[in-house]
Amino acid sequence: MIVKEAPLQGVKVFEPKVFGDERGYFLEAFQSQRYKNAGIDLDFVQDNISRSSKGVLRGLHYQLRHPQGKLVTVVRGRVFDVAADIRKESPTFGQWFGLILDDQNHKQLYIPPGFAHGFVVLSDHVDFCYKCTDYYTPDDEYGVAWNDKTIAIDWHILEHNLVLSDKDRQYQQLADISSELLPKYSG
């Protein structure tokens, strides 16, 4: 497995070894000790899978009282995946990192607790997997507007092609979110 540090502290890109032949391929999607050796010393407690169609944008989501670290990957299809640093007092506050995750490159992205996360579907359909370091808590859902002016993400898709949930459409700009509702940077 190849591990690459992203420009945002704690965000990592994993490239698992893929063994392929005429029958298809095999890869080890998760092995706890390898990820601990790569600096992720949190236990993953929940796995989630979502299926979405082309143009669906999910995000930018985060949790405050029960922050989740997320190890994300695509099983089928292609997305542009984003981690945004919204931790108040962080030296990279308001910056983002994104990359293509798909069923050809098999890359994984680790988004630490305290970051906002989102993705947009670039293929006809996608099956997207999240390993999470804390349990989903419905009353701890927060978000930043997908088109936030401070973060200014290039989503790699035209705005008129986007499909958003009502909830994702209503999130505020980062500058309008009370600092009490933003994660803290812990250095």
Q: Write out the E strands in the chain.
A: 2-5, 12-15, 18-21, 24-27, 46-53, 57-62, 70-76, 78-85, 96-102, 108-111, 115-121, 125-132, 142-143
100 bridge partner residues: 80
Helix (H, G, I), strand (E, B) or coil at 104: coil
Contact between 81 and 67 (Cβ < 8 Å): no
Selected catalytic residue, list 35, 61, 62, 142: 61
Selected catalytic residue, list 62, 110, 130, 142: 130
- 110 as an active site residue: the answer is no
In this structure, the number of other CB atoms found within 10 A of the CB of residue 47 comes to 11
Structure tokens at 115: 């970051």
Distance CA 48, CA 53 (A): 17
Reported residue count of the chain is 187
- 130 as an active site residue: the answer is yes
Q: Which residues are catalytic?
A: 61, 130
